Amino acid sequence: MEPVVGVFANSSQAQEAAARLRDKGIGQVTLLTPGEPKQEIEAAVPTEDMEQPGIGPAIGGMIGGAVGIASGMELGAAAASVIIPGVGPVMAAGFLGAALLGAGGVAAGVAAGHAFETSVTFGLPKDELFLYEDALRQGRSVLIVWTEDQQGIASEIMKLAGAESLDAAQWWLGLRSVEEEHYRSKGGDFSTDEQCYRRGFEAALHADFRGKSYNAAFDELRAHYGRECKEPAFQLGYERGSLYHRSRQKS
């Protein structure tokens, strides 16, 4: 299954999209929204029982506690409360909420410093995880639907409900001036090296590398980025990205 992701300004819009997807019988849906679990949100998000090996962590940070919606409701226990450093409590309802709760209703096994785990179970692109986190940090809601062959329909339903697109270029614009000033202070030519510097910065936010120093991650970075990771601009960008990640965790 392939994921289709929509970012919404508020949970009401995301719930509307989730309800439409449910009514159409499209895919498996997860709603991520800042705050604690609410029954009205759970009721809008379809779920199913699941027990798969090796599920692992889905959101970075650590589980602050799992909250199951009262049994006997339409969808059963399907919500979990997750703490993301720099964001606070985030409610995961639906497909992912059920996974976090697990068969015994207890969330466990989440390693600090990781974001949405990209395994064959969820298949989320690791390169974009920081965008999801940033959206949640800004109070937005993230809706994810996994579907075999209805990606286009799912995307259109989300768009009609008010979904925003994830835009890495727009995200970078908010950081660019500060990073340009820093790079120039080191004697670099930002107009020439920006692309390489930015890849290094974003690499530090990648689920595989966050929390690791450049030297500790070097072999993995080389496998992922090739010779580019040896460039001074990439290394400096990586170090700045690591600093940015740490500051977000502490905020």
Q: What is the pLDDT of residues 117-165, one digit of tens each?
A: 333 234 456 677 788 888 888 888 888 888 888 889 999 999 999 998 7
Q: Which residues, in sequence order, are CB contacts of 40 under 8 Å at separation 6+?
A: 15
User: What per-residue confidence (pLDDT) applies to 86?
Assistant: 67
Q: Average pLDDT for residues 46-60, to the nearest whole number?
A: 34
Residue 1 identity = M
| Residue 26 near residue 3 (C-beta atoms within 8 A) | no
What is the torsional sign of CA 208, 214, 216, 219? positive
CB atoms within 10 A of CB 10: 13
| pLDDT band for position 81 (cuts 50, 70, 90) | low
Closest CA to 145 of 54, 17, 34: 17
**Rounded distance between C-alpha atoms, residue 183 and residue 181, angstroms:** 6
| pLDDT band for position 82 (cuts 50, 70, 90) | low
User: What per-residue confidence (pLDDT) applies to 199?
Assistant: 95
Closest CA to 1 of 92, 94, 116, 123: 123
More confident of the two residues 91 and 10: 10
Q: What residue segments make up the domains of the chain, in order of their start?
A: 2-166, 169-250
Closest CA to 61 of 183, 241, 210: 210
**Rounded distance between C-alpha atoms, residue 187 and residue 29, angstroms:** 48
User: What per-residue confidence (pLDDT) applies to 98?
Assistant: 56
| pLDDT band for position 184 (cuts 50, 70, 90) | very high
More confident of the two residues 139 and 77: 139
Model-level pTM greater than 0.85?
Answer: no
More confident of the two residues 230 and 165: 230
| Residue 202 near residue 229 (C-beta atoms within 8 A) | no
Tokens of 244: 């940015």
**Rounded distance between C-alpha atoms, residue 5 and residue 242, angstroms:** 26
CA–CA distances in Å: residue 66 to residues 55, 71, 104, 112, 246 = 16, 14, 11, 16, 25
